[in-house]
Homo-oligomer: A and B are copies of this chain.
Amino acid sequence: MYSFMNDYSEGAHPKILENLTKYNLEQNIGYGQDKHSEKAKKHIIKFIQNDNVDIHFIPGGTQTNLLAISSFLRPHEAVIAADTGHINVHETGAIETTGHKVIAMESKNGKLSIESIKKALDYHSDEHMVKPKMVYISNSTELGTIYTKRELNDIKKICNENNLLLFLDGARLGSALTCKENDLSSKEISNLVDAFYIGGTKNGALLGEALVICKDELKEDFRYLIKQRGALMAKGFVAGIQFETLFEDDLFFSLANHANKMAEKIANSLENLGYNFYAPPMTNQLFPILSNDILENLSKEFLYSIEARVDKDNSAVRFVTSWATTEESVNKLISFFKSL
């Protein structure tokens, strides 16, 4: 039984474990102030070609989202997100728990449009309603799609015009940057958004997300806020070593690239076999629409999840590939569909 359930079924890329082992008995300062974290930050700064940022390593994605949003907003301010956005549906109300409303707006293919943002702004007209103050987007999105340079520029423009912060959830930023259709560099992203994060958990690390704060006004006292939410790891160097490993050469890219390639192979085969997709296949998450009839057999050989019931006979299923996905398992999946 092979799992295409998600991109966090395996541990870490072997090189990461090697380095954790290599530095294991070294004594390091706690709480992320060690030399590996410093090196990792330098590598990331080089990667995004922007040294006017603060970088913090946070154990997980939900924690990074709640930390950023609750730290950047005043109590009455709210965040606009796609209705499919992770913060809206899959974080057990983590943002609301910090006191902020998520303004969930209609989306297409997991993406928030400027029309939706404008609609949210128009609707929230006075002090009897929350004040929209931030736009949250994911790249790649929950449906595996990516934002184009033009789209991100348009969103930035409306944010500037309306004094909105722009925050990008990059739990799968690797898959976005290595997507064939992508025309955005990490440098451009860091110049357009006020903060974003680079996901490690879903791209080869045991755990860890690198939060990059670009806007100066958002940087102050951030370590207090990390500690307060329980996100300041005593052994911060464990995250530091992992990000050092991912970014000291192009490992981060090559791992994401592999995941995308594996997905592309599956997508091409399914397209050739005439399958339609719930959202256009672009990165490492695929959403083919399958007849319910075949799900039982599919489940005998593969783990996957159901994204949506499309109609009474068909469902959009979700296949996720990762840095660890083997070509062999991809071939098996393709064979399954060819044999139908």
Q: Report which A residues bind B (CB closer than 8 A).
A: 2-3, 5-6, 8-12, 14, 17, 20-21, 23-30, 59-67, 70-71, 74-76, 78, 89-94, 96-102, 127-131, 201-202, 206-207, 221, 223-235, 237-238, 324
Contacts and interface: CB of A to CB of B under 8 A. Distances in A.
B60 A233 contact: yes
A254 to B, nearest CB: 17
A24 B30 contact: no
B71 A75 contact: yes
Given A2-B27, A75-B71, A206-B20, A130 B93 contact: yes
A11 B30 contact: no
A54 B100 CA distance: 25
What 9 pairs between A and B have smallest CB-CB spacing? A63-B230, A11-B24, A76-B224, A92-B228, A93-B130, A62-B230, A93-B101, A8-B234, A92-B227
22 contacts: A10-B28, A11-B20, A11-B26, A21-B21, A59-B59, A76-B227, A89-B128, A90-B128, A91-B128, A91-B228, A92-B130, A93-B99, A94-B227, A97-B99, A97-B228, A127-B223, A127-B224, A127-B232, A128-B227, A130-B224, A207-B233, A230-B231
A269 to B, nearest CB: 22
A57 to B, nearest CB: 12
A66 B63 CA distance: 14
A27 B10 contact: yes
A235 B93 contact: no
Contacts of A59: 59-60, 207, 230, 233
Nearest to A99: B97
Nearest to A88: B101
A160 to B, nearest CB: 19
A228 B100 CA distance: 11
A27 B325 CA distance: 10
Contacts of A61: 234
Could you say which of A9, A66, A78 has the most chain B C-beta atoms within 10 Å of its C-beta? Answer: A9
Contacts of A206: 20, 206, 235, 238
Contacts of A201: 234-235
Contact of A227 (B17, B102, B127): B127
Contacts of A237: 11
Given A2-B27, A90-B128, A91-B228, 13 more contacts: A11-B235, A59-B60, A75-B97, A91-B230, A92-B127, A92-B225, A92-B227, A96-B99, A97-B229, A131-B224, A207-B233, A229-B230, A230-B230
Contact of A17 (B8, B24, B62, B78): B24
A47 to B, nearest CB: 23
A224 B92 contact: yes
A23 B11 contact: yes
B11 A324 contact: no
Given A66-B230, A99-B99, A206-B20, A76 B60 contact: no
